[in-house]
Amino acid sequence: MSEGTGGTLKAQFRRLIAATGPIGVMHYMGEANARYYAARDPLGTAGDFITAPEISQMFGELLGLWLADMWHRAGAPARVHYVELGPGRGTLASDALRAAAKAGLNPEVQFVETSDALREIQRQAFPGATWHHDLSTLPTDAPILLIANEFLDALPIRQLVKTSGGWRERMVALEEDGFVCAAGQKPMDAAIPEARRDAPEGTIVETCPGAASVIREVAERLAAQGGAGLIVDYGYAAPQTGSTLQAVRAHRKVDPFADPGEADLTAHVDFAAMADVAQAGGARWLGTAPQGAFLRGLGIEARAQALAAAAPAQAAEIGAAMERLVAPEQMGELFKVMGLAAPGWPGGAGFAADVAGQSGEGEPG
Ligand code: SAH
């Protein structure tokens, strides 16, 4: 940001807002997460939060097998790129590519990652990978097999709030020694789809322009280069209202406005909007399935049994990890898997009509 570089982000935001007025929630979230991810490894039990690939190797293995299956059915093109958005510690990529290799798929590895700290950890597992700051520099010469797990939720959202005077952007303003949300001055009605404009006062609608542009670019590349992808995240399958902005620190939910840059800020992903954007960009939308149904469809139970048979002492741990990934009250319903493919590519496993559940089921409470 332009306002001084010293001190905590909180102090910088306070100086900025005092000097120029309230900032948008999107500005706040974008800078907070850039600061948060730049210098730390937030994953795992010792960090702030844990993700599916860190819970069990089964998650990455099954996603890798899904990609390998798509690749085989598409005729097993000789050159192909594995692209992962926000690979974290590289755990998902390790598990996915180990499983894919057993199925004959050995792609070139392309990582989109902005965090220097996480790039360093990824480099240890994948010394031969190529890193990108965003999707624009990804190679264009071969099909892409893409995975993004808990990537879109970290991208900044814009919030619009209905006031007595119409729709306004939701801003972050100063309070005595903290921050408080307040409606902005500028009319924003044009940013709200007409069907939603009549919502009651106080209604909050979120959009994520960054996620939309990422999915647009993925779709355009699938259309131009061929390939397929899986986008996994927590979110809702049908449009909803209300703020989903949340902050997690040391495995506990905290106030998103307490310490910007020191907690992971996320918002739920609007999967219906993502499917629309993907199709407008030229990709085939294969479906959006609850994570539990998707992993069961790919055979997570059989995989858990095989792992437990090979390591009986860990059977209980393996069973518990599977439960965490698929049980409806854990990650099984709130998390969704969206499948995308190039127009000429085949359909994908796990998105049959019986597991697709695209019509607003499994929404977060
Ligand atoms: N996919 C991993 C990590 C999820 S955390 C897992 O499932 O464990 C979010 C990841 O996205 C981190 O690697 C983070 O550094 C990266 N990231 C966050 N915002 C980003 C951005 N704007 N551009 C690129 N990478 C980003």
Q: Are residues 268 and 254 in the same domain?
A: yes
Q: Are residues 260 and 173 in the same domain?
A: no
**Domain final position from 173, 192, 207:** 207
Q: Are residues 166 and 84 in the same domain?
A: no
How many domains are there within the chain? 2
Ligand 1 nearest atom to the CA of residue 153, by list position: 9
- CB of 332 shorter than 6 A to ligand 1: no
For residue 356, being part of any structural domain is answered with no
What tens-digit pLDDT sequence spans the chain (365 residues)? Answer: 444 456 899 999 999 999 999 999 999 999 999 999 988 899 978 899 999 999 999 999 999 999 999 999 999 999 999 999 999 999 999 999 999 999 999 999 999 999 999 999 999 999 999 999 999 999 999 999 999 999 999 999 999 999 999 999 999 999 988 999 999 999 999 999 898 899 999 999 999 999 999 999 999 999 999 999 999 999 999 989 999 999 999 999 999 999 999 999 999 999 999 999 999 999 999 999 999 999 999 999 999 999 999 999 999 999 999 999 999 999 999 999 999 999 999 999 999 643 333 333 333 33
What pLDDT, on a 0 to 100 scale, did the predictor assign at position 75? 97
Using CA positions, which residue lies closest to atom 23 of ligand 1? Answer: 114
For residue 361, being part of any structural domain is answered with no
What pLDDT, on a 0 to 100 scale, did the predictor assign at position 310? 97
Helices (H) and strands (E) in the chain, counts: 12, 16
Paired tokens of 15 = 């100086």
Output the furthest CA–CA distance in the chain (Å, rounded).
65
Average pLDDT, the chain: 94
What pLDDT, on a 0 to 100 scale, did the predictor assign at position 205? 96
For residue 76, being part of any structural domain is answered with yes
Q: Are residues 177 and 256 in the same domain?
A: no
For residue 317, being part of any structural domain is answered with yes
What pLDDT, on a 0 to 100 scale, did the predictor assign at position 352? 67
**Interval 27-70: pLDDT, tens:** 999 999 999 998 889 997 889 999 999 999 999 999 999 999 99
What pLDDT, on a 0 to 100 scale, did the predictor assign at position 187? 96
For residue 44, being part of any structural domain is answered with no
Residue 83 lies in domain: 52-156+208-341
Within a 10 A sphere around the Cβ of 111, how many other Cβ atoms?
22
Ligand 1 centroid from CA 222, angstroms: 21
- CB of 281 shorter than 6 A to ligand 1: no
The residue length of the chain stands at 365
**34 backbone φψ class: left, alpha, beta (φ>0; ψ -120 to 50):** alpha
Q: Are residues 253 and 282 in the same domain?
A: yes
- CB of 208 shorter than 6 A to ligand 1: no
**167 and 145 in contact (C-beta within 8 Å)?**
no
Q: Are residues 132 and 269 in the same domain?
A: yes
Residue 101: partners with Cβ closer than 8 Å, 6 or more residues away: none
Give 81's DSSP letter. E
Q: At what angle do helices 315-326 and 57-73 cross, to 10 degrees?
A: 60
Backbone angles phi, psi at 133, to 5 degrees: -80, -30
**Interval 100-155: pLDDT, tens:** 999 999 999 999 999 999 999 999 999 999 999 999 999 999 999 999 999 999 99
For residue 132, being part of any structural domain is answered with yes
Using CA positions, which residue lies closest to atom 22 of ligand 1? Answer: 155
Using CA positions, which residue lies closest to atom 19 of ligand 1? Answer: 154
Q: Are residues 142 and 162 in the same domain?
A: no
**289 and 57 in contact (C-beta within 8 Å)?**
no
Q: Are residues 70 and 13 in the same domain?
A: no
> How far apart are alpha carbons 349 and 181 in whole angstroms?
44
Ligand 1 nearest atom to the CA of residue 148, by list position: 1
* Half-sphere exposure at residue 225, Cβ-oriented, CA atoms within 13 angstroms: 23
What pLDDT, on a 0 to 100 scale, did the predictor assign at position 365? 31
For residue 241, being part of any structural domain is answered with yes
Q: Are residues 63 and 136 in the same domain?
A: yes
Ligand 1 centroid from CA 108, angstroms: 20
> How far apart are alpha carbons 184 and 12 in whole angstroms?
20
Within a 10 A sphere around the Cβ of 101, how many other Cβ atoms?
13
For residue 364, being part of any structural domain is answered with no
Q: Are residues 139 and 212 in the same domain?
A: yes
> How far apart are alpha carbons 164 and 175 in whole angstroms?
23
**60 and 91 in contact (C-beta within 8 Å)?**
yes
Q: Are residues 165 and 150 in the same domain?
A: no
Domain CATH number, residue 257: 3.40.50.12710
Ligand 1 centroid from CA 200, angstroms: 35
Q: Are residues 202 and 222 in the same domain?
A: no
